[in-house]
Structure 1
Amino acid sequence: MGGETTPALPDSLAGWLSLLEQRHGQRIALGLDRVAAVRERMAVDCDAVIITVGGTNGKGSCCAMLEAILLAAGYRVGCYTSPHLLQYNERVRIDGREASDAQLVAGFAAVEAARGDAPLTYFEHGTLAAWHVFAAARPDVIVLEVGLGGRLDAVNVFDADCALVTSVAMDHMEYLGDTREAIGREKAGIFRAGCPAVCGDPQPPASLVEHAAEVGAELWVSGRDFGFGGDRQQWGYWRYTEPPSQGSLVKRGGLAYPALRGANQLLNASAVITVLECLRSRIPVSMQHVRQGLMLVEVPGRFQVLPGRPSIVLDVAHNPQAAGVLADNLGNMGFYPETWAVVGMLNDKDAAGVAALMAGRVDHWLLADLPGPRGLAAAALAPVVRAASGKDDVRCFASPVEAFVAAQKEATEGDRIVVFGSFLTVADVLAAIKAARH
């Protein structure tokens, strides 16, 4: 009898993604030992400056701002983010362009060759594949977005030259803990000894501050060591030359508002500028480049307002903190007779908290089933929304697209349709909108 033949590895990106989805039964498996061992066996590295971005909300916006500013300054930039909205290539960008299928396939194959019998999750395999792509491209700076938490996330096998924690709020509590203190400790796990660590949360949990001190990181906190102020036309940035609140005060005025919508974006922008200020000896960036980058930055699905009537707002808000920001941003948009919400959520999210915060902004709730084991059925979401919002018009649909089509049929030109609750919800609707335009 002949020996068993080894199954051929995929030769397409779709094939690799299908294989990885099937291979690892546990969607999330926190821990660095397996990833670190495979990374060592891969034996690929580069000397780029590494910026790691963690936090509960605002990570994607901060990564996009860093990428846009650094590109405006003429640097070669690798950027790794997750999840994607329409296609996997969005997760890995080089110089602002999505990695090609061929680059990603080469990365997945390189990880597989070094993996041995180590089980890697979809995210872990993808993180190491992205690193392979970056190592081949040799960028000057690599921006890495944490997938979940920080301390045990696959991204944390790479030592950050500067780490940014955008915010600390209650989310993924089954993995990170059920208090802000516990979650803050996990987020702070990306800090490194002797390196700057920036916190964009003006009220960080004590655990984050204590961990920074324990590991010997140089911690910069929003509102204490840096911050912002402004009026309707422009805004200004300030920081002390040394944390905590020491040294001379540096001010930068006359800044145009970021292209990303929402009042919270100044929190993100000031944290991003602080990261760049901390790294200025290695990657100097002028304020003109900061201005250019902030004017050009784009992030699909983050308070994205589409042209046309009725007004359509896409936002991946999926936890109470993000929903609160979304509600505030909607309140600043002006008057709309009716607001129609297209909502689909995952079953491990605080649906009641999200609905309660959005209740004052929504007149009609169109709820959608989401697929997969974590997807929450609209029928299960409906009583939660009714109780939290106090609204009677709560309807159920088989998909976000069906709910969106219903909203389009009933909304008048002066109304507003808001799509939120999950990346899956926004992705489904955005794909349908793009398909209809072609």
Structure 2
Amino acid sequence: MPAFTLPTTLDAWLSLLETRHVRPIDLGLERVGQVWRRLGVSLPGVKFVVGGTNGKGSTCAMLEAILLAAGYRVGCHTSPHLIRFNERIRINGEELSDEALLPLFERVELARGDVSLSYFEFTTLVMLLAFSGQLLDALVMEIGLGGRLDAVNLVDADCAIVTSVDIDHADWLGDNREAIGLEKAHIFRAGKPAICSDPHPPKSLIRHAETIGADLWLLGRDYNYAGDRQQWSWSGRGARRSGLAYPALRGMNQLLNASGALAALQAVRPQLPVGAQDIRRGLALVDIPGRFQVMPGQPTIILDVGHNPHAAGHLVANLGNMAYHPETYAVFGMMADKDIDGVIAHLRNHVDHWICCDLPGPRGASAQMLEDCLHAAGITDLKDPKKGINRTVVCSTTPDEGLRLARRQADLNDRILVFGSFVTVAQALPAVREQLQEPPQAFHDATQEISRPH
């Protein structure tokens, strides 16, 4: 492709990549590996690769925050993004600008020749180029899907972390934990630290680590954590960290992620030593949106990007740890290829009012599809004052309109859960911002009940 025909804006590049490759998800390292070798990428620093079903983004954010608090120069890659593509690639805590990214897109395009790359493969190479040649002490990189055939697995990790193993992306990874665990275990490298934060690791993961000679760290065997209402502690392989404040990220499952991050840092301590104050400061400052994120204002709005049954189970536990709210509204949007029934099974007894939302694109489930799944699970409109039951199921066109509907109907002491997908949370943010900009009572008083959307 001649240089003058290349896209000239980041949005144009992303639009091109979304439609050019024949399959949105196309696992395998052969094609992307060819272009990787042509580019001659040379990566600096200690390389952390983080995989797992859930908890990857949070673990990456904690590693990044602690290392930055310790004064190290850090590159961090996470995916998917919530609002802007730039969120995926950070250097020293700052997102790369469009101006910095555009030449990298051009370099990948010119290097690929006639090799077709998926959106994720292409942008992974952009990320690797962004870090190549930088004066960085550490790189933290999140696996996109699985592990063995994910483009990020081009990188030989100095320390690999598998946060959790559960069933998701079954069409690509398998329909049981043993098959999925083996796929994820392929980010481990011989002779290098291999951390598993899952309390019940699949045998396939353990066997693979032992077969290749990885230095496997298992929760409960090589490291552990304990906590009370005020603080928590970590111990592992001759080290102990006491009197730690809870991570700024909410949810008890975040201790699992934090423990895995501390195990990884302990495993590479000779190369990247961090002190107790670095850990405390990093965990206090860590920030990643959409992970059981409780917004200020009334009614309480909770944003959660969880999109599989495993994440839904953690979500229910975290909801149970909140203060009492009379009623819970759920603004619910998911991708059609996810286990919608499995997610509903976890939340069915914890939501009073469901607002199903359309999500865009060929993968997005329609609101009607979600409503049908709720009905199949026995969740329908039901009002029984004698039993204290007041349940509704409605449809909305978009998550932001769904959230506006919930805000009109909820009392100030109720809570509204926005969940099911990164897309759901991202599209609800305009309505979230409205609440943050208004006095607590203003929106509720100024609106009236609206009719059920169809």
TM score, norm. by length of structure 2: 0.92
State the distance in 2 between where 1:177 and 1:305 align. 34
State the distance in 1 between where 2:18 and 2:4 align. 16
1:106 aligned to 2:103?
yes
Contact 2:333–2:365 (CA<8 Å) still a contact in 1? yes
Residue of structure 1 in register with 2:387 after alignment = none
Q: 1:292 aligns with which of 256, 273, 281?
A: 281
State the distance in 2 between where 1:229 and 1:280 align. 22
TM score, norm. by length of structure 1: 0.95
Q: 1:276 aligns with which of 265, 285, 293?
A: 265
Residue of structure 2 in register with 1:185 after alignment = 182
Residue of structure 2 in register with 1:394 after alignment = 393
Residue of structure 2 in register with 1:118 after alignment = 115
SS of the equivalent of 2:194 reads: strand
Deviation at 1:137, TM superposition (A): 3.0
State the distance in 1 between where 2:311 and 2:81 align. 18
Tell me the amino acid that sits aligned with residue 275 of structure 2. S
Q: 1:328 aligns with which of 286, 305, 317?
A: 317
Show CA shifts across 1:204-258 (max 9, x none).
01000001011110110112211100111111101134xxxxxxxx322111110
Tell me the amino acid that sits aligned with residue 33 of structure 2. A
1:405 aligned to 2:404?
yes
State the distance in 2 between where 1:259 and 1:43 align. 39
- Distance change (3 Å), C-alpha of 1:230 and 1:17: same
Contact 1:355–1:389 (CA<8 Å) still a contact in 2? no
State the distance in 1 between where 2:161 and 2:3 align. 43
Tell me the amino acid that sits aligned with residue 6 of structure 2. L
State the distance in 2 between where 1:416 and 1:154 align. 39
Show CA shifts across 1:38-93 (max 9, x none).
11111131332110000000001000000000000001111011111111000001
1:419 aligned to 2:418?
yes
- Cα-Cα RMSD: 1.4
Q: 1:27 aligns with which of 10, 13, 24?
A: 24
Contact 1:50–1:143 (CA<8 Å) still a contact in 2? yes
Residues 58-97 of structure 1 aligned to structure 2 (within 5 Å): 58-97=55-94
State the distance in 1 between where 2:9 and 2:363 align. 27
State the distance in 2 between where 1:98 and 1:136 align. 17
State the distance in 1 between where 2:174 and 2:216 align. 23
Q: 1:342 aligns with which of 331, 355, 361?
A: 331
- Distance change (3 Å), C-alpha of 1:257 and 1:437: closer
SS of the equivalent of 1:361 reads: coil
State the distance in 1 between where 2:2 and 2:232 align. 64
Q: 1:351 aligns with which of 337, 340, 343?
A: 340
- Distance change (3 Å), C-alpha of 1:331 and 1:129: same
SS of the equivalent of 1:360 reads: coil
Q: 2:373 aligns with which of 372, 377, 384?
A: 384
Tell me the amino acid that sits aligned with residue 192 of structure 2. C
State the distance in 1 between where 2:14 and 2:435 align. 26
Q: Could you tell which deviates more after superposition, 382-391 or 401-410?
A: 382-391
Show CA shifts across 1:369-415 (max 9, x none).
11111111111111212333634211111111111110010001000
Residues 115-264 of structure 1 aligned to structure 2 (within 5 Å): 115-241=112-238, 250-264=239-253
Contact 1:351–1:385 (CA<8 Å) still a contact in 2? no
- Distance change (3 Å), C-alpha of 1:5 and 1:383: closer
State the distance in 2 between where 1:363 and 1:212 align. 45
Contact 2:44–2:139 (CA<8 Å) still a contact in 1? no
Residue of structure 2 in register with 1:365 after alignment = 354
Q: 1:51 aligns with which of 30, 33, 48?
A: 48
Gaps of 5+ in 1: 242-249
State the distance in 2 between where 1:153 and 1:46 align. 18
Gaps of 5+ in 2: 382-391, 438-454
Tell me the amino acid that sits aligned with residue 263 of structure 1. M
